[in-house]
Amino acid sequence: MQTRSRLRNTLRYSQQEAVASATMTGTSDNFLNAFAISLQASALQLGWLTALPQLAGAIMQIVSVWLGNHVPRKPLVVLTALSQSFVVAGMAFVALPVAEILPAGPVQLLIALAVGYYICINVVQPHWRAWMGGIVPRQRRGVFFAARSRLTMLTTLIIFVAGGLLLNASAEIGNAWLGFAVLFGCAALGRFISALLLWRMHDPEPDAGANAMRLRDSWLHIKESLRDPAFRRYSLFVASLQGAVAVSAPFFAVYMLRDLQFTYLQFSINSVASIATQFLLLRFWGRFSDRFGNHLVMVICAASIPLIPILWMLSEHPYYLIVVQIISGVFWSGFTLSTANYLYDIRPHQTNFALYAAIQSGTSALAVCTGGILGGLLASRSSALVQWLLPDFDLPSELFVVFVATTLLRLAIVAYFLPKLEEPTLRKRPKLLQIIFRISRVNAVSGVSLDWTSVDKKPTRRAEDDE
């Protein structure tokens, strides 16, 4: 009876923690570029703001496994979450006028804090996933994670709109810094509450390294996994496309806020249109892929993604750009889901899916780092490139050079890799209604990021092996 009561309390705290942590991620993941723009960040600095945190995150995905061998899981997660709340509080401090007198400068400090933010995320994520997988009963995972995803998504959408209204109001009185300080202060408070809730949750495996893999073993698994040609082609395709997207990802915010003079509320609503569309269409694409195969969905969506930046250049009207974001959400949701399912199908039997997903995620992070640096360099020289290539042509925005570059890169990657990615021999995979999607984050590069878990009505040895 006591064990059951402790489980109920832990699951309830976890649902509350979803709201608290989404307050942080909804702010930090989606207003960071707008914040940097308000601090007068250069194009090159915006590129570094995308690149360096991703690089740090990719490294920490491996280091986190090593940490799990030396630090008990619950203290590691709680202390890292607490540290992250102070990092986000530091971002709120950067918004204050007093931060301008610091030797490093507010933009450089914001980049350093963003690196710390992503380090914390990637330390927590693998251990949190293992923790939740150990405490949520298999027969209740469907209801639990579906409810948690709804809470996360609803909180994120509220933060989008409320943040836009707050920033709008502060900008109208000439104190945009105040809006960012309050917004990131609330995000820090949300993460602090999240850390307290995590501390109150029960962890059935308190010993360090109970299920952890040694650092050397992790590297050996990565090396062995990349020898598989199907996985190697898939991983390079997804990573390369994410890298090409990162070339332009930070600069859509610059285009809206600086060139088109969008209000912060218009900027927020524009972002909400894409994220909400992705969330709403996951089930549709799931049923479509169940019927016609993941390869077809991946081909349709991957072939459409390169055209999205071109749509941004056809009109400046805010309502038109919302439609463009809805179109973007349609194809990104299908791409996200089909590539996750495709990875499940091509991994070897009896192999940990989470390991393969982590390798692919790390590869993508390295590509995003490269794309962010390239995009920053390109944007910083866009004016000179326009004068050299099109001296007599008046472009509505110099950032169109970046949009064209990312389009060409996306087209080249899709044209090269798609013919090499064949429909794998399908294994017995959980049906759509047995797959639980957890919205882990939303961001400017990849939109909705998913963690997903298969759910069986009755636990079986094969199901346990597959997981």
Q: What is the pLDDT of residue 124?
A: 86
Q: Which of 2-16, 45-59, 318-332, 394-408 has the lowest mean pLDDT?
A: 2-16
Q: What is the mean pLDDT of residues 152-172?
A: 90
DSSP per-residue codes, 90-152: HHHHHHSGGGGGSTT-HHHHHHHHHHHHHHHHHHHHHHHHHHHHHHS-GGGHHHHHHHHHHHH
Q: Which residue has the higher pLDDT, 44 or 130?
A: 44
Q: How many domains does the chain have?
A: 1
pTM of this structure: 0.83
Q: What is the mean pLDDT of residues 226-254?
A: 87
For the stretch 265-275, pLDDT in tens is 999 999 888 88
Q: What is the pLDDT of residue 466?
A: 40
Q: Which residue has the higher pLDDT, 88 or 11?
A: 88
pLDDT at 258 over 60: yes
User: Could you give the percent of the chain with pLDDT greater than 90?
Assistant: 40
Q: Which of 49-53, 315-319, 384-388, 400-404 has the lowest mean pLDDT?
A: 384-388
Q: What are 73's two structure tokens?
A: 């899981």
Residue 439's DSSP bridge partners are 450
Instruction: List Cβ neighbours of 419 (8 Å cut-off, separation of 6 or more).
Output: none
Q: What is the pLDDT of residue 450?
A: 52
- The CATH number for 323's domain is 1.20.1250.20
Between CA 282 and CA 465 the distance in angstroms is 27
Q: What is the mean pLDDT of residues 339-349?
A: 70
Between CA 188 and CA 27 the distance in angstroms is 10
Structure confidence at residue 448 as a pLDDT band (50, 70, 90): low
Q: What is the pLDDT of residue 217?
A: 58
Between CA 100 and CA 346 the distance in angstroms is 51
Q: Which of 164-168, 332-336, 400-404 has the lowest mean pLDDT?
A: 332-336
Structure confidence at residue 145 as a pLDDT band (50, 70, 90): confident
Q: What is the pLDDT of residue 293?
A: 80
Q: Which of 131-140, 217-226, 437-446, 450-459 has the highest mean pLDDT?
A: 131-140
For the stretch 173-230, pLDDT in tens is 988 999 999 999 999 999 999 999 999 998 876 655 444 455 555 556 666 666 777 7
8 Å CB contact between 308 and 252: no
Q: What is the pLDDT of residue 131?
A: 82
pLDDT at 349 over 80: no
Owning domain of residue 244? 2-204+212-466
pLDDT at 455 over 90: no
DSSP per-residue codes, 250-282: THHHHIIIIIS---HHHHHHHHHHHHHHHHHHH
